[in-house]
Amino acid sequence: VQLQASGGGLAQAGGSLRLSCAASGFTLAHYAVGWFRQAPGKEREGVSGISATGTRTYYADAVKGRFTISRDNDKNTVTLQMNNLKHEDTAVYYCAAEKFSGSRWFELSPEAYEKWGQGTLVTVSS
């Protein structure tokens, strides 16, 4: 049972990268998925999230209009398309999955998530 984040790398400011989060050993369609990032010396922060059904999404103000989250439940994957990258987007990006119930469909707090991918490094040169 694991999540695998991939797609990080080096990009120039203004460029694009596409991150993927693939689940194995469990059905990702039952889980909300969040993308988090952690820059050196900073706390892990929520970047984007998508509900289990894919009908609801969240974006932090810092990435709104530039990042797009989507999911393919048939392929057990969630994707984060990152466009118009900025130097301040440089960080290790993690995907996380959790089953939320009731009115909760996403949580910004990393502590709310049990399943985590290993992280993928995104470096944006200015």
pLDDT at 60 over 90: yes
**In one letter, which amino acid is 51?**
S
Tens-place pLDDT, residues 67-122:
999 999 999 999 999 999 999 999 999 999 999 987 888 898 999 999 999 999 99
CA distances from 76 to 38, 93, 97 (A): 24, 19, 12
Given this model, what pLDDT does residue 56 score?
94
